[in-house]
């Protein structure tokens, strides 16, 4: 009886191992899903663009007119006060921009710089006396030539899409807007976006 019980337990253990090997999903190969996603995008027509909805806490990647994938995003600490107007207001700007720089960051992991201030913000800033006519001319010229506009005027700058070197899961769980005006994604998501976009990719930010 003791021998039979031992054999039975052994058979049950072997069967359990078999079930685990058959039913358990295989571990993901790092980068596999992103490579498959890139392959899918390459077969789609149209240019890549990004649309960000502040009220939806979302960033959506488009290919042509088709929305392809949406990512969770958080914004500037001045979120509830509308469009960005000047340096230090901690608001995320609204309007049409383009990616004007791409680099790795010691603080933000990876950083996609946006062309803020745009012409609309420069016009408003000039009318309000926030910037000089010379600064307005520099910003307008940079935008028309798809270069990085100055980030040193009183309108502010260095607004971008980025991750975070020390990620805090509670930020994403609570819709906590923690940036000084940028759009923040998880590092996994910024990795994927960074591999897809390029300099000049259009970015629209909606309220």
* pLDDT for res 37: 76
The Cα-based distances of 51 to 10, 108, 151, 187 in angstroms read 58, 21, 22, 19
* pLDDT for res 126: 97
* pLDDT for res 13: 35
Using CB atoms within 10 Å of the CB of residue 55, give its burial: 0 to 12 exposed, 13 to 18 middle, 19+ buried: exposed
* pLDDT for res 79: 79
The Cα-based distances of 87 to 11, 92, 98, 151, 182 in angstroms read 70, 11, 20, 9, 12
Mean pLDDT by 10 residues, the chain (207 residues): 42 34 32 71 88 96 95 91 94 98 94 98 97 97 97 97 77 76 94 96 97
* pLDDT for res 60: 97
Calculated CA dihedral for residues 105, 108, 109, 113, nearest 10 degrees? -60
User: Model-level pTM?
Assistant: 0.79
Those residues whose C-beta lies under 8 Å from the C-beta of residue 10, and which sit 6 or more positions away, are none
Closest listed residue to residue 184, CA positions, set 68, 70, 72:
72
Strands (E) in the chain, as ranges, are 48-53, 58-63, 66-72, 95-105, 109-114, 160-162, 183-184, 202-206
């Amino acid at each position: 009886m003791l021998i039979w019980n031992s054999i039975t337990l052994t058979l049950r253990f072997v069967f359990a191992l078999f079930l685990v090997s058959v039913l358990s999903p295989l571990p993901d190969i790092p980068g596999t899903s992103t490579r498959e996603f890139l392959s899918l995008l390459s077969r789609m027509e149209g240019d890549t663009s990004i649309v960000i909805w502040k009220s939806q806490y979302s960033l959506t990647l488009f290919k042509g007119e088709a929305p392809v994938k949406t990512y969770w995003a958080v914004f500037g600490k001045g979120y509830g006060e509308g469009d960005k107007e000047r340096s230090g207001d901690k608001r995320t700007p609204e309007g049409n921009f383009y990616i004007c720089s791409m680099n790795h960051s010691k603080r933000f992991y990876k950083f996609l710089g946006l062309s803020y201030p745009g012409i609309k913000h420069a016009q408003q800033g000039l009318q309000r006396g926030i910037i000089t006519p010379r600064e307005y001319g520099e910003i307008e010229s940079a935008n028309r030539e798809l270069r990085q506009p100055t980030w040193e005027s009183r309108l502010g700058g260095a607004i971008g899409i980025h991750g975070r070197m020390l990620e805090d899961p509670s930020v994403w769980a609570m819709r906590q807007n923690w940036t000084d005006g940028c759009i923040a994604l998880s590092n996994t998501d910024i990795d994927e976006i960074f591999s897809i976009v390029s300099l000049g990719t259009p970015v629209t930010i909606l309220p």
